[in-house]
Amino acid sequence: MIDERSRKKLILEHSRRMNAADIDGLLELYAHEVTFEDPVGSGRRTGRDALRAHFEELAAAGITEIPGEPVAGQDGVHVLVPVTATMDYLPKGPGFTERGWLAAPDAPENSRITWEYVLMMRAGAGGLIQELQMFWGRSDIGIAD
């Protein structure tokens, strides 16, 4: 079990490193056999290599996460945080459009995506993140004005 304060710091550190595009540093927060799902319902993936590819796509789109106040579970392992994020529509946005999650913008090269989500992490041995889940739906994502 990891105390609440440490779990809250861990989830905020995730956002700090994501914003810095520090992919190697970000992956240091995760167990080798991490499982993740973004968004929940899109299918689970496993391992740091798959997570690296996911984070590299987000970094390439210039993602910026603004985390809210984290909330720790009383179970000693879970922590959640609401996040407001923005990133360039390209290169990841067309995949969202193909899935029907987002309408295509008129000027994709100049457009940014904005969305609200809840980030959930489960920490394990040594304080490493064992599981990452992002909860958001179609009404939570759009093209920034």
**Per-residue pLDDT tens for 82-109?**
999 999 999 989 999 999 989 999 999 9
Predicted local distance difference test score (pLDDT) of residue 5 = 95
Mean pLDDT for 59-75 is 96
Mean pLDDT for 29-57 is 95
- Dihedral over alpha carbons 117, 122, 127, 129 (to 10 degrees): -60
pLDDT band of 125, cuts 50, 70, 90: confident
CATH fit for domain 4-143, picks 3.10.450.50, 2.40.50.140, 3.90.580.10, 3.40.50.300: 3.10.450.50
* Per-domain residue ranges of the chain: 4-143
Measured in whole angstroms, the distance separating CA 134 from the mean position of its chain's CA atoms is 6
Predicted local distance difference test score (pLDDT) of residue 1 = 76
Q: What is the pTM of this model?
A: 0.92
Contact present, 63 and 50 (Cβ < 8 Å):
no
Mean pLDDT for 116-126 is 94
Phi, psi of 77 (to 5 degrees): -135, -30
Burial of 116 (C-beta count, 10 Å sphere; 0-12/13-18/19+): middle
| More reliable by pLDDT, 21 or 1 | 21
Structure tokens at 115: 């969305």
* Helix or strand (DSSP H, E) at 109: none
